[in-house]
């Protein structure tokens, strides 16, 4: 008889990007188990391939409905835990709020596995609640939620038999007991993200941003540099998020030439990146443990990345020669205008697609998950 596992994601179907990559890897690595998923559903239909318990997932900008969604997740999780008696319960976060029910359920869970995709340092409830409330009340709620979340997280760490982390920076910062930690990177589908023959580098400079437009992503460097770039530039924006309308307003005010691709299917992203010469991702200083999945995808497509000197991301880019570190808008202006974007420089990054195949493939990530679950089984 197969052992039973329940995997919990705050968003599951249909999703793209980092969450879908990790979810797919975890499920495939548990192919020998009887797997069920409890997750948020953005569609009126459920996944046709997964045995799941899906709850309609509202947009993050609807706080009341989002709260109701979490309450439904909690009640369903409690019910399933008591009735299905799973051999393995796995919660994949960065939605740390999913950990609250563990305070009740921990005595009844045979094996608990915590999968951490993003750091606690990313939590900024103040900026989130500032969309709806005054700065004073947003600050009060920020402190309250962080207190509760940090307590729940520390409890979950103590109870977890195994912890997987998306990178070593998260593991080193958050988990004191390193004996229970395994680093399993997100990886990239190197068959899907495979560079096509690109056209001549002359003409407009095509730059790609791939992300979810949350407050931790900075656009101030681009807003300062692109209007004064001597070379015509097109900024490709891929994704959606709660801060996007604000970013688009600023881009329009700065008269920056951009193409908003919106939320696209994951399979469509390589076609957009194939038109580009560069990828960019600039992050807030407090997001020190982040390696954005877009960096893996830029690498697989042969695009060097420009990023700012923030923690693990900077170290990852430098150690693998994935691009350049930009410390200011002035440096970005100089980089774009004078010494960066030409065929000779870009040829220095011809190794990127092969590097992705060797070190960052989904197959390698899936095998690492499989080894972890084999120990738990």
Residue 2 phi/psi, 5-degree rounding, is -70, 145
Q: Are residues 15 and 61 in the same domain?
A: yes
pLDDT given at position 85? 92
Q: Please list the alpha-helical segments (H only) found in the chain.
A: 17-29, 63-84, 102-105, 125-129, 135-159, 168-174, 220-225, 244-253, 269-273, 293-300, 311-319, 329-334, 343-347, 352-359, 362-376
Do 54 and 154 belong to one domain? yes
- Give the C-alpha separation, 349 to 117, whole Å: 28
**218 within a domain of the structure (yes/no):** yes
Residues 150 and 86 in one domain: yes
Q: Are residues 176 and 69 in the same domain?
A: yes
- The confidence score (pLDDT) of residue 12 equals 63
| 179 and 152 both lie in a single domain | yes
Report the alpha-carbon distance of residue 15 to residue 69 in Å, rounded.
Answer: 17
Give the per-residue pLDDT at 200: 45
Cis amide bond preceding 338, omega within 30: no
In a domain, 265, yes or no: yes
The reply to whether 94 and 234 lie within a common domain is no
- Residue 209: strand pairing partners: 237, 280
- In this structure, the answer to whether residues 163 and 217 fall within a common structural domain is no
Report the chain (377 residues): mean pLDDT per 10 consecutive residues.
89 62 85 89 61 85 90 95 94 90 92 88 84 92 93 92 88 78 87 71 81 88 92 92 91 96 88 92 83 92 93 91 93 79 73 92 87 79
Residues 6 or more apart whose CB falls under 8 angstroms from that of 64 comprise none
Residue 198 located in a structural domain: no
- Give the C-alpha distances (Å, rounded to integers) separating 359 from 130, 165, 297, 324: 40, 17, 12, 20
Task: Give me the residues paired with residue 179 across strands.
Answer: none
In this prediction, residue 270 carries a pLDDT of: 92
> CA 237 to CA 212: how far, in whole Å?
10
| Number of domains the chain is built from | 2
The pLDDT assigned to 135 comes to 92
- Establish if 296 belongs to a structural domain: yes
Name the CA dihedral angle for 10, 15, 17, 22, rounded to a multiple of 10 degrees.
Answer: 50
Q: What is the pLDDT of residue 48?
A: 52
Same domain, yes or no: 366 and 351? no
| Domain membership flag for residue 9 | yes
Kindly state whether residues 338 and 365 are assigned to the same domain.
Answer: no
Residue 48 in any domain: the answer is yes
pLDDT digits (tens, 9 = 90+) for 80-134: 999 999 999 999 988 899 999 998 999 999 999 999 988 777 788 888 899 899 9
Q: How far apart are CA 120 and CA 116, in angstroms?
A: 9
Rounded Cα gap, residues 43 and 342, in angstroms: 44
CA–CA gap between residue 15 and residue 41 (Å, rounded): 9
Q: What is the pLDDT of residue 47?
A: 54
3-state secondary structure of 351: coil
Residue 192 forms part of a structural domain: no
Q: What is the CATH number of the domain that holds 371?
A: 3.40.50.2000
Burial 259-276 (b: 16+ CB within 10 A, else e): eebeeeebeebbebbbeb
**Whether residue 42 sits in one domain with residue 167:** yes
pLDDT digits over 321-339, tens only?
A: 999 999 999 999 988 886 5
Instruction: For residue 89, give Cα distances in angstroms to 152, 162, 176, 222.
Output: 16, 11, 21, 43
> Which structural domain, as residue segments, surrounds residue 327?
205-359
The verdict on residue 286 lying in a domain is yes
Asked if 282 and 135 sit in the same domain, the reply is no
160 and 277 part of one domain:
no
């Amino acid at each position: 008889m197969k052992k039973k596992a329940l995997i919990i994601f705050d968003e599951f179907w249909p999703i793209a990007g980092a969450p879908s990559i990790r979810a797919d890897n975890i499920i495939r690595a548990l192919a020998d188990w009887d797997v069920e998923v409890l997750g948020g559903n953005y569609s009126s239909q459920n996944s046709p391939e997964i045995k799941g318990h899906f709850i309609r997932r509202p947009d993050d900008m609807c706080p009341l409905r989002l709260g109701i969604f979490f309450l439904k997740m909690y009640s369903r999780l409690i019910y399933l835990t008591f009735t299905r008696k799973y051999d393995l319960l796995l919660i994949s976060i960065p939605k740390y709020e999913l950990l609250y029910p563990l305070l009740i359920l921990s005595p009844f869970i045979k094996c608990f596995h915590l999968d951490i995709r993003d750091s606690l340092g990313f939590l900024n409830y103040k900026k989130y609640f500032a969309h709806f409330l005054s700065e004073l009340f947003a600050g009060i709620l920020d402190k309250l939620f962080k207190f509760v979340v940090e307590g729940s997280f520390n409890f979950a760490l103590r109870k977890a038999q195994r912890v997987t982390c998306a990178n070593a920076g998260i593991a080193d910062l958050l988990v004191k007991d390193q004996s229970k930690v395994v680093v399993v990177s997100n990886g990239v589908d190197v068959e899907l993200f495979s560079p096509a023959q690109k056209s001549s580098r002359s003409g407009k400079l095509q730059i790609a941003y791939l992300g979810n437009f949350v407050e931790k992503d900075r656009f101030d460097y681009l807003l300062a540099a692109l209007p004064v770039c001597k070379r015509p530039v097109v900024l490709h924006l891929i994704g959606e998020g709660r801060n996007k309308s604000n970013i688009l307003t600023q881009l329009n005010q700065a008269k920056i030439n951009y193409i908003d691709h919106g939320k696209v299917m994951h399979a469509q992203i390589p076609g957009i990146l194939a038109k580009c010469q560069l990828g960019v991702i600039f992050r807030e200083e407090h997001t020190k443990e982040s390696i954005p999945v877009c960096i893996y995808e830029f690498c697989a497509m042969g695009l060097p990345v420009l990023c700012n000197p923030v923690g693990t991301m900077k170290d990852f880019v430098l150690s693998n020669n994935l691009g350049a570190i930009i410390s200011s808008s002035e440096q970005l202006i100089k980089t774009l205008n004078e010494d960066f974007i030409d065929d000779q420089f870009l040829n220095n990054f011809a190794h990127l697609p092969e590097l992705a195949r060797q070190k960052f493939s989904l197959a390698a990530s899936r095998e690492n998950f499989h080894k972890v679950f084999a120990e738990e089984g």
